[in-house]
Structure 1
């Protein structure tokens, strides 16, 4: 073999080796793909997604499915270049920068904790929205979200505690708790009355001076609700706030006679607040694909996602535009009874 041929052979081998090694190197991207769907009026692993105790419920049928996005990659399990390239070639998959899901200032564990908390908050809001739609009275309460490490409240107040009074005076809003604490001078104790489980107890907590010089105890609170009966929602490892609309519809369906869907397979997505307002979400393209694969023929689409949805809707999936829980219920009624117009996402 001539020296020229040998040089070309070695160069080609080195180029191939470098290409293979480069393809196996981790890249800071995340692959988003259609995730599983769960029927909110059905079961997951033999357990109802929605269980209502202390109130009459009604049998139903059809599907009201929440949709999810699965992801691959992340700071602790980075993709290789080949996997990312495959994703770029698949129209049902999105390849996005890692920071889209995992900001540099946030660890993977913190992202997971945030997703879990958002799911918990979403279930509370979804229940409140459904009961408000049914004109069932609910009570607003203040609960402990978490305490700041090393502060007087750390170890004394616990996440989930419902704060019913401060120094014997009842509270109903977040601001009233803070105002009651700040009436004290830093260093003076404050007595919280909390409902913990089924018991009510008084918890004395010291105070320290905050950055503004006012008394603080180091507790982070959130507005929550007490319902006149128990609503449990169980969907396994699904996180985030985007299933709120479908939870609300599932609760509404179980609390009203007849089948809301009339037997149809309906999927959808959207955040929801206690007033029933539906907000946009991420991953709409992958969620629609997952819904269609699961047999859905109707997809409830937040108005804010319509522009992206119409560009990527799979064949056979009808997009229904929703802005509120009430609007979603009316749209489903019209589809079921084949009466009246149903709002749709406008063509792009």
Structure 2
């Protein structure tokens, strides 16, 4: 066999071997890519994303699109070839698997956590929007979770409204722990609660849950906080307290197959637009992202660059960007997309008014570095 032919054959076989190895070798990485965007003022799967009943609403135009990131599943293991392709592609990012799924988190656990965060973000989006419009919202302290095998199991339930502990009214979730830890482990503590089903019925009717029944629990020692440590000499009853709200009218957010807290800002803006006569977008195509708390503070999110790509591909011209994500976003902004820096819901609303009026020269911008 001529030397040249033998060399070509050997090179071909090596390439085939490398290709096969790339398909077979699994690497500890996951991929992030742009996900779909959804107009919070529009519909998803034929249903309004935001539905408000019991309060006058107004026509809207334009777009206020929430953005998402598509990620490979927790149980999926990329091969070497996919990882290399992802590293070379501009519209995807390859990251260590543990970055997306820390501590060996399963796909089921991740999905459940994302669903809980999404639900909480909807609640906070409603609260922040109504507060921005000076519409009163009643807040209650509730049982968020009950620890299995704890003194509270079977006596307190998720959704129970906590009115008082030992006769002292509670106004914040932290008040509950503070009052319980005044006891020594083994002592009794008395909760005054409105059961979850009664509270839910009251909230559905737009009323603050009233009344209450007394439940006495025997406290126990807090478990060790570190592996191998001893139990703490601190009394607990095995619950986590949180907050719930009673809204003066009904606000439903319907969006399937989406998780995480990053749509909060855009939901809030959508609610504000529907509840005010002024057209917030002025017909413009605006997208954005950002968590939001009850006070209207906008927080950072992950996958900002993927969301920018998805927004621009959908047609967005402006992107509302959390302040803490600004530097990363500005380092790789798609052509034709203007970044607008926001720290609070009020910031975002004022920027939307500028965009609507076409007065965009003074918009707060993002800078790299």
Whether these two folds match at TM > 0.5 is yes
Note if 1:209 corresponds to 2:257. Answer: no
Is the CA contact 1:27–1:81 (under 8 Å) kept in the aligned structure 2?
Answer: yes
Q: Deviations over 1:49-83 (max 9, x none)?
A: 11222222212111100000001243x11112222
Say if 2:347 is the partner of 1:327: yes
User: 2:364 corresponds to which residue?
Assistant: 343
C-alpha separation between the residues in 1 aligned to 2:217 and 2:256?
36
Q: Write the distance in 2 (CA, Å) between the matches of 1:160 and 1:123.
A: 17
Q: Corresponding residue for 1:279?
A: 299
Q: Shift of residue 158 of structure 1?
A: 2.7
The alpha-carbon distance between structure 1 residues 347 and 104, as it changes in their structure 2 partners (threshold 3 A), is closer
Contact 1:67 1:287 in 2 (8 A): yes
SS at structure 1 position matched to 2:331: helix
* Equivalences for residues 214-229 of structure 1 within 5 A: 214-229=234-249
The residue correspondences of 1:95-106 to structure 2 (distance < 5 A) are 95-106=94-105
Q: Which residue of 2 aligns with 1:90?
A: 89
Distance 1:228 1:87 in 2: 48
What is the CA–CA distance in structure 2 between the aligned matches of 1:280 and 1:150, rounded to whole Å? 36
Please state whether the residue corresponding to 1:104 is helix, strand or coil. helix
Does the Cα contact within 8 Å between 1:266 and 1:300 map onto a contact in 2?
Answer: yes
- The CA deviation at 1:15 is 7.0
Per the TM alignment, residue 13 of structure 1 is displaced from its structure 2 partner at its CA by 4.2
1:198 to 198, 201, 207: 201
**1:200-230 per-position Cα deviation (integer Å, ceiling 9, x unaligned):** 7635544323343343210012233332222
- Out of 195-204 and 118-127, give the one that drifted further: 195-204
Alignment of 1:43 with 2:43, yes or no, is: yes
Whole-Å Cα distance in 2 between the matches of residues 159 and 113 of structure 1?
16
Which residues in structure 2 correspond to 1:134-213 (within 5 Å)?
134-187=133-186, 188=188, 190-196=190-196, 197-198=200-201, 202=213, 203-210=215-222, 211-213=231-233
CA contact (8 A) 2:299 2:343 kept: yes
Q: CA RMSD in A?
A: 2.7
Provide closer, same or farther for how the CA distance between residues 134 and 15 of structure 1 changes in structure 2, counting only shifts above 3 A.
closer
User: d(CA) in 2 for partners of 1:12 and 1:155?
Assistant: 69
Q: What stretches of structure 2 of length at least 5 have no aligned partner?
A: 203-210, 223-230
Q: Any stretches of 5+ residues in structure 1 without a counterpart? A: none
Q: How far is the alpha carbon of 1:251 from its aligned partner?
A: 0.9
SS of 1:122's partner is helix
In structure 2, the partner of 1:77 is 76
Match of 2:335 in 1: 315
Instruction: Write the distance in 1 (CA, Å) between the matches of 2:10 and 2:330.
Output: 52
- Between the aligned partners of 1:227 and 1:193, the Cα distance in structure 2 is 20
TM-score by length of 2: 0.85
Q: SS of the residue aligned with 1:27?
A: coil
Whether 2:251 is the aligned partner of 1:231: answer yes
Q: How many residue pairs get matched?
A: 347
- Tell me which moved more, 274-283 or 59-68: 274-283
Q: In the alignment, is the contact (CA less than 8 A) between 1:181 and 1:190 conserved in 2?
A: no
Aligned position for 2:106: 107
Residue of structure 1 equivalent to 2:16 = 16
Residue of structure 2 in register with 1:133 after alignment: 132
**Residues 1:86 and 1:194: Cα distance change in structure 2 (over 3 Å):** same
Say if 1:7 and 1:246 are closer, same or farther in 2 by CA, change over 3 A: closer
Question: Alpha-carbon deviation of 1:237?
Answer: 1.8
Work out whether 1:244 is the aligned partner of 2:244. no
Q: C-alpha displacement at 1:303, in angstroms?
A: 1.7
Does the 8 A contact of 2:22 with 2:81 survive in 1? no
1:260 Cα deviation (Å)?
0.8
What secondary structure is seen at the aligned counterpart in 2 of 1:117? helix
Distance 1:332 1:253 in 2: 10
Give a deviation string over 1:33-64, Cα, whole Å, max 9, x none. Answer: 00011111111112221122222221211110
Task: Tell me how far 1:195 sits from its aligned partner.
Answer: 4.1
SS at match of 2:155: coil
Assess if the C-alpha contact under 8 Å between 1:165 and 1:194 holds in 2.
no
- Aligned counterparts of 2:60 and 2:181: Cα–Cα separation in 1: 51
- Aligned-residue offset at 1:14: 7.2
Q: 1:339 to 1:11 in 2, by over 3 A?
A: closer
